[in-house]
């Protein structure tokens, strides 16, 4: 995690969505996340690998109806990093909403 709570590992759109989905459940099946995001197996695998290498996601495998399934869950570290990242995003949004309206008039910024 970087200073200020923004985390470049989490911030990428697909990884942010993966963490958001996993934050709401104990675990989710790889195929469910893939289908929800609308990405290929290889794209999801790439993002999951980065989250796993950061220690944010735990993978577990189980056989269901004779087929091996992969389940993902946020680790304690991943949950903390996601919550810190979301908090920073919320602060940024609140700041933007409360900032004075800024316009560009003839190349000069006015407030």
pLDDT reported for residue 65:
85
Q: Which domains does the chain have, with CATH numbers?
A: 3-110 (1.10.10.10)
Looking at residue 101, what DSSP letter applies? P
User: What ranges in the chain are assigned the alpha helix state H?
Assistant: 8-11, 13-23, 30-37, 41-53, 76-98
Specify the 3-state DSSP secondary structure of 1.
coil
What 40-43 contacts at long range (C-beta under 8 Å, 24+ apart), as own/partner pairs, is: 43/14
Provide the residue-wise pLDDT of the chain in tens; the chain has 111 residues: 455 678 999 999 999 999 999 999 999 999 999 999 999 999 999 999 999 999 999 999 988 888 999 999 999 999 999 999 999 999 988 988 887 666 666 655 555
pTM higher than 0.85? no
17/19 Cα distance (integer angstroms): 5
pLDDT reported for residue 1:
47
């Amino acid at each position: 995690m970087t200073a200020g709570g923004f985390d470049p590992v989490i911030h990428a759109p697909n990884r942010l969505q993966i963490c958001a989905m996993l934050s709401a459940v104990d675990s989710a099946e790889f195929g469910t996340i893939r289908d929800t995001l609308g990405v290929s197996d290889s794209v999801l695998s790439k993002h999951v690998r980065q989250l796993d290498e950061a220690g944010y996601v735990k993978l577990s495998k189980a056989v269901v109806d004779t087929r091996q399934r992969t389940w993902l869950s946020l680790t304690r570290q991943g949950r903390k990093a996601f919550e810190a990242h979301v908090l920073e995003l919320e602060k940024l949004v609140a700041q933007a909403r409360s900032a004075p309206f800024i316009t560009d008039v003839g190349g000069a910024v006015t407030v």
